[in-house]
Amino acid sequence: MPITDFDSERTYDEDRFSTRPVFRSDRMKVVLGYFEPGQFIPVHAPGSDVAICIRSGTGVVREGETEHVVGPDDVVVVEADVERGVRADDERLEALLTTSPPPTDAEHAPVREGLERGVFDP
């Protein structure tokens, strides 16, 4: 069983959010997410459920048309095929993201596109 913690995995990237993998199987993917102020995971709608647990910082988690303002200890769960995205406010944001099943590479195309264009909602 993998074991780690936010402090030992922490890494930030000036250009885009960064993730550190914790676990992956055919059924589940777990990553630690690190966001500089204003960084985001663009809105996309993969065929997987996701649970987003905020460890520190504040931001917004999009669930369909709803934007949830989140902070430490908040948990947002978004069902498969529903648009979702994560954006840090004006401070660093750290979160645990668990998806089941892991999204496919094709399902993450809107994420890559949004990052290339610099837009949260492509």
**pTM (predicted TM-score):** 0.94
Model pLDDT, residue 46: 97
Radius of gyration of the chain (CA): 13
* Domain of residue 35, CATH code: 2.60.120.10
Model pLDDT, residue 2: 78
Q: Would residue 106 count as lying in a domain? A: yes
Distance, in Å, from the CA atom of 117 to the CA atom of 120, rounded to the nearest integer, reads 9
Which range of residues forms the domain containing residue 20?
Answer: 6-117
Q: What are the per-10-residue average pLDDT scores of the chain (122 residues)? A: 88 96 96 98 97 98 97 98 98 98 94 95 86
Domains of the chain: total: 1
Q: Would residue 1 count as lying in a domain? A: no
Q: Would residue 122 count as lying in a domain? A: no
Q: Would residue 34 count as lying in a domain? A: yes
Model pLDDT, residue 122: 82
Whose CA is closest to 94, among 60, 61, 49, 53? 53
Q: Which residue bears the tokens 């769960």?
A: 77
Q: Would residue 79 count as lying in a domain? A: yes
Q: Would residue 75 count as lying in a domain? A: yes
SS3 at position 98: strand
